Amino acid sequence: MGSLRSGPVRCGLTDMNAGVIKHLSRSTAALSLAVVALAGPASASPSGLSRPVASLEMPEPPAAAVAIDELQTLTVEAPHPMTGYSRAKFPHWATQFGKCDTREVVLARDGVNVKQDEECRAVSGTWRSQYDNKTVTTASQIDIDHMVPLANGWRSGADTWTTAKRKQFANDLEHSQLIAVSAASNRSKGDQSPDQWAPPNSAYWCTYSRAWTHVKSLYGLSVTAREKSALQNMLGTCP
């Protein structure tokens, strides 16, 4: 698979932060911005809480017209067998920088007024779960969902990948593959495809189908005939 492009990060940097970040790779810098760029210097409180974290958003998937074109290029086939599947074959959550792993980066990115402790764990904040349109104020009640679930990825082509590629897929912060949602909605979804499960919040179907289609296109994953039909219907809800 070719290199995956990262989108622009829409936030301002202080001269000091820019001086630090210029020494990082572009992908690491994009991750660091979620917890550093807008927060300023870290200042731990007597209770051990550190700096507040800026709220960004899941990387925006392509427009509906682009997603519709991408959908037409996907291979349509029956799902691969689950023989040999294990979540351990998709190493996550990977360390991104310092003590921050992928989960903590997404919690910081998708939340509002998120505060982290010295271990980079979110200790307070507010999250809006797009799947069910619920507000959550406790990090333990938030799951980081893989837009295209790991098991679905396995059934649609990841069974032939290297471990390194599976790790990239499971920790992809550059594209619309990871999102913070309520644990209840994520567990309701499980590893189901759009023909089997759709977000209860139908207002999110447009973004959901664009993101799902784009991730499958980026990684060269296949779809089933029913999955493709469901994605076409969901894309039809886009303005």
Using 50, 70 and 90 to split pLDDT, how confident is the model at 1?
very low
* Residue count of the chain: 239
Q: What's the one-letter identity of residue 87?
A: R
pLDDT tens digits, one per residue of 124-153: 999 999 999 999 999 999 999 999 999 999
Q: How far, CA to CA in Å, does 29 sit from each of 91, 163, 169, 209?
A: 21, 24, 19, 28
Q: How far apart, in whole angstroms, are the C-alpha atoms of residue 143 and residue 179?
A: 8
What pLDDT, on a 0 to 100 scale, did the predictor assign at position 56? 60
Q: What is the mean pLDDT of the chain?
A: 83
Mean pLDDT of 201-229: 98
DSSP-derived secondary structure for 128-184: EETTTTEEE--GGGEEEEESS-HHHHHHTTGGGS-HHHHHHHHT--SSTTEEEEEHH
188 vs 30 pLDDT, higher one: 188
Using 50, 70 and 90 to split pLDDT, how confident is the model at 57?
confident
Q: Is the pTM of this model over 0.95?
A: no
Strand bridging mode 100-101 / 52-53: unpaired
User: Three-state DSSP class for 8?
Assistant: coil
Whether residue 22 has pLDDT greater than 80: no
What pLDDT, on a 0 to 100 scale, did the predictor assign at position 170? 98
Element housing 72 (H / E): helix 64-73
Q: How far apart, in whole angstroms, are the C-alpha atoms of residue 158 and residue 234?
A: 24
Three-state SS letters, 104-126: HHHHHHHEEEEEECCCCCEEEEE
